[in-house]
């Protein structure tokens, strides 16, 4: 429902105190002190008689008016309706009494200030009567001709309303700036969480690939020991596990380089991966081009996991790795020729394919893994 424009307060951002730069604060205080000194001097020199309206009483009345104006600024900032209206009424009445005692200039200033401040800070339903009372008091007692008086009162009313619009505009700008800062903070936090998740995936994939490969050879060594196999066979498995550990360190360095945006070409990576295996080949088709970091890492990790699964489940199989650069996506195809299951076909947690599929889905791609014409086929498609 639309809020009534007559009863609506200016926004709290508009009524709030706008922080001033440090170099402007002394100037602002100098202006305030000078204005107060002029008002006090005018009150002291124009007061006549004795008692309350003696010069000392007139100075006290000016000080009381200044304190009342400060109270008005606080109550309107807190959007307290009746205390604000009561303070304005008291100020207008105090100025009328002071003018009756012969204090002219300060009372005119107080009436003008009430007119401008009420239009700037009160709801219009209260601002208009307060402004009318203050400007009417000013027009009655001023010694100017009627045309300058009308021009002055109209200018004060217009100035107060313009200040209201300006305060609203500045308040809206401050509110939008605060919202923008909050949005930027949320965006930075989201980016940090996304980056943490990416780092966690990279570390997990590197460790999972390296440790699972080492587990294959260490488990084979354990089985050979239980079967009283030849020492050379056992030593071969242990050396292979050591080699996998060394490769794991290399992959860790590559992952760190990837996090820094320093990746080796994808074609070279697949060639090295295939060269480390027996009976494996790689074929690359399409227009070669650099891929986004996330897409490149997805292809690398899926290729590593697929090769690990081949070594684990079909160690004697031939492997063909194909990478195709399409117009809108890149496709990785890893297929083996099948063969007798290895001694460790039943070991492991079985989370490799799940991790590969999650990585593909995070990038808006897909992964298909299942039996092919001869052996097992893993196909990854990633949009680029």
Domain assignment present for residue 153? The answer is no
Q: What mean pLDDT is reported for the chain?
A: 79
Q: What is the DSSP string of 339-372?
A: -PPPTTTT-S-S-HHHHHHHHHHHTT-EEEEEE-
Domain assignment present for residue 103? The answer is yes
Count how many domains the chain has: 2
Contact 369, 351 (CB under 8 A): no
pLDDT at 170 > cutoff 70? yes
Strands of the 366-371 sheet, one edge to the other: 280-286, 319-325, 329-336, 376-383, 366-371
pTM surpassing 0.75? no
Domain assignment present for residue 25? The answer is yes
User: In b/e form, how buried is each residue of 22-43, taking b as 16+ CB within 10 angstroms?
Assistant: eeeeeeeeeeeeeeeeebbebb
Domain assignment present for residue 194? The answer is no
pLDDT in the model for residue 86: 92
Domain assignment present for residue 42? The answer is yes
CA dihedral 85, 90, 91, 97 (to 10 degrees): 150
Distance CA 275, CA 291 (A): 23
Percent above pLDDT 70 for the chain: 79
Average pLDDT for residues 320-339, to the nearest whole number? 88
Domain assignment present for residue 181? The answer is no
Which of 119, 143, 167 lies at the terminal end of a domain, its last residue? Answer: 143
pLDDT in the model for residue 43: 59
Tell me: the pLDDT tens digits for 113-150? 899 989 988 999 999 999 999 999 988 888 778 888 88
pLDDT at 156 > cutoff 80? yes
Determine the structural domain holding residue 88 and report its residue range. Answer: 12-143
Say which DSSP state 53 is in: G
Which of 143, 172, 193 lies at the terminal end of a domain, its last residue? Answer: 143
**CATH number reported for the structural domain that contains residue 335 in this entry:** 3.30.565.10
Positive or negative, the CA dihedral 215, 220, 226, 229 is negative
Distance CA 119, CA 69 (A): 14
Percent above pLDDT 90 for the chain: 14
If one compares 273 and 249, the residue with the highest pLDDT of the two is 273
Average pLDDT for residues 362-369, to the nearest whole number? 88
Q: Which of 42-56, 67-81, 185-199 has the highest mean pLDDT?
A: 67-81
Domain assignment present for residue 369? The answer is yes
Which of 89, 112, 143 lies at the terminal end of a domain, its last residue? Answer: 143
Domain assignment present for residue 3? The answer is no
Range of weakest confidence among 58-72, 205-219, 228-242, 345-359: 345-359
């Amino acid at each position: 429902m639309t809020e009534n424009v007559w009863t609506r307060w200016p926004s709290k951002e508009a009524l709030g105190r706008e922080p001033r730069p440090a170099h402007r604060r002394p100037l602002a205080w100098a202006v305030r002190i000078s204005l107060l000194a002029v008002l006090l001097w005018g009150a002291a020199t124009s007061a006549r008689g004795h008692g309350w309206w003696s010069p000392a009483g007139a100075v006290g009345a000016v000080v009381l008016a200044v304190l009342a104006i400060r109270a008005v600024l606080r109550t309107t900032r807190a959007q307290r309706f009746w205390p604000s209206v009561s303070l304005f009424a008291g100020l207008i009445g105090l100025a009328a009494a002071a003018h009756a005692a012969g204090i002219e200039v300060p009372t005119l200033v107080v009436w003008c200030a009430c007119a401008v401040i009420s239009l700037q800070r009160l709801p219009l339903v209260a601002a208009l009567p307060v402004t009318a009372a203050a400007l009417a008091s000013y027009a009655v007692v001023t010694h100017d001709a009627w045309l300058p008086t009308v021009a002055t009162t109209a200018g004060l009313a217009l100035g107060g309303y313009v200040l209201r619009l300006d305060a609203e505009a500045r308040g809206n700008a401050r509110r939008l700036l605060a919202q923008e800062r909050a949005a930027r903070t949320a965006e930075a936090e989201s980016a940090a969480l996304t980056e943490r998740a990416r780092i966690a995936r990279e570390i997990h994939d590197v460790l999972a690939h390296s440790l699972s490969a080492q587990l294959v050879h260490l488990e084979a060594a354990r089985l050979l020991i239980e079967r009283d196999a030849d020492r050379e066979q056992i030593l071969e498995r242990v050396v292979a596990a050591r080699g996998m550990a060394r490769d794991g360190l290399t992959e860790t360095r590559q992952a760190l380089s990837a996090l820094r945006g320093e990746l080796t070409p994808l074609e070279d990576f697949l060639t090295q991966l295939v060269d480390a295996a027996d009976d494996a080949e790689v074929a690359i088709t399409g227009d070669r081009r650099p891929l986004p970091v996330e897409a490149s890492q997805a292809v690398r990790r899926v290729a590593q996991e697929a090769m690990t699964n081949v070594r684990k489940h079909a160690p004697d199989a031939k492997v063909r790795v194909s990478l195709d650069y399409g117009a809108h996506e890149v496709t990785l195809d890893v297929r083996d020729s099948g063969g007798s299951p290895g001694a460790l076909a039943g070991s492991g947690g079985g989370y490799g394919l799940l991790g590969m599929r999650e990585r593909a889905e995070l990038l808006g791609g897909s992964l298909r893994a299942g039996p092919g014409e001869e052996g097992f086929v893993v196909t990854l498609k990633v949009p680029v």
